[in-house]
Amino acid sequence: MTDKTVDARGLNCPLPILRTKKALQEVPIGGMLEVLASDPGSMSDFEAFARQTGDELVSAEKLDAHYRYVIRRLR
Amino acid sequence: MTQETAQNRKSLSIIVSKGALDWAYPPFILATTAAAMDMDATLFFTFYGLGLLKKKLDLEISPLGNPAMKMPIAGMHLGMPNLVAALPGVTAGATAMMKNMIEKKGVATIEELRDIALESGVKLVACQMTMDLFEFKKEDMIEGVSFGGAATYLEEAVKADVNLFI
């Protein structure tokens, strides 16, 4: 179960990451954020984002028409 | 934020020297993303980059002298000879076409990225010398801009992890 969802489908770099950061700040520490994106570069970007911020990329999946990420806010 | 984490934060500084529609993207994309990744970011706007801080943006792009600018048209990528690119109206046409592509592809506008930069604490510094040189007034510029010179920039740059000139 996630606390919040960001639908960044149709948005291009860097908007999915920027929307994610904004939403993550509205999730309590320890909470989970779901992000939907269509940007094919987002897989690499979300991994890098989580490594740099120290939040946890719980899952990263490529679905049929888009990508789905779950991030746990750790700080 | 604790003092320790503030000291450990990574930082980015960029000299922004160009103000055409295409050249405006890299600094704002990198600075907003840096802020999203918990980095401190400073943009120093000098010469033609300074116009990116004006309240009303009227950014344009020109194929003139820009042989790499090939637009996707009817499944091909077409450039434009300089003699044609120099004709009146071509800059306006190319700009309209680029803005249309930007919207269609879900790319942010510069106005949008600039707003996010301000919201997320990116430091926007206007070069005071360029202000004087090009006769800009402080009231021409958006709120939240600070003013400084080479020493102001270098103080940020010397401690930044990433320094770029764009």
Residues of chain B positioned with their CB less than 8 A from the CB of A42: none
Q: Which of A21, A38, A47, A55 best tests the B interface by mutation, with the highest count of B CBs <10 A?
A: A21
Residues of chain A positioned with their CB less than 8 A from the CB of B37: 17, 21, 49, 52-53
pLDDT above 90 (res B108):
yes
d(CA B62, CA B80) in angstroms, rounded, equals 10
Q: Which of A15, A24, A38 best tests the B interface by mutation, with the highest count of B CBs <10 A?
A: A15
pLDDT mean over B11-32: 98
Phi, psi of A59 (to 5 degrees): -150, 150
pLDDT mean over B99-126: 97
Report which DSSP code applies to B75: T
Confidence of residue B43 (pLDDT cuts 50, 70, 90): very high
pLDDT above 60 (res A28):
yes
Nearest residue on chain A to B112, alpha-carbon basis: A15
In the annotation, is A13 catalytic?
yes
- Give the global pTM: 0.93
- Taking CB atoms and an 8 Å limit, are A18 and B33 in contact across chains? yes
- Residue B103: helix, strand or coil by DSSP? helix
Q: What is the pLDDT of residue B96?
A: 96
CB pairs under 8 A between A and B: 38
Q: What is the pLDDT of residue A22?
A: 96
Nearest residue on chain A to B109, alpha-carbon basis: A15
Per residue, what are the HEC states of A4-52? EEEEECCCCCCHHHHHHHHHHCCCCCCCEEEEEECCCCHHHHHHHHHHH
pLDDT above 90 (res B7):
no
Q: State ipTM.
A: 0.93
pLDDT mean over A20-46: 96
pLDDT above 50 (res A2):
yes
Q: What is the pLDDT of residue B5?
A: 57
Q: What is the pLDDT of residue A72?
A: 97
pLDDT mean over A1-18: 95
pLDDT mean over B5-27: 92
pLDDT above 90 (res B1):
no
pLDDT above 80 (res B2):
no
Nearest residue on chain B to A23, alpha-carbon basis: B36
- Taking CB atoms and an 8 Å limit, are A12 and B105 in contact across chains? yes
For chain A, what is the mean pLDDT? 96
Residue B21 CB coordination number (10 Å):
19
Confidence of residue B8 (pLDDT cuts 50, 70, 90): confident
For chain B, what is the mean pLDDT? 94
Min Cα–Cα distance to chain A from B133, Å: 34
Nearest residue on chain A to B27, alpha-carbon basis: A14
Residues of chain A positioned with their CB less than 8 A from the CB of B10: 52
User: Is pLDDT larger for residue B72 or for residue B165?
Assistant: B165
Report which DSSP code applies to B141: B
Residues from A contacting B (CB-CB < 8 Å) are 10-15, 17-18, 20-21, 49, 52-54
Instruction: Give per-residue pLDDT as tens, B63-89.
Output: 999 999 998 888 999 999 999 999 999
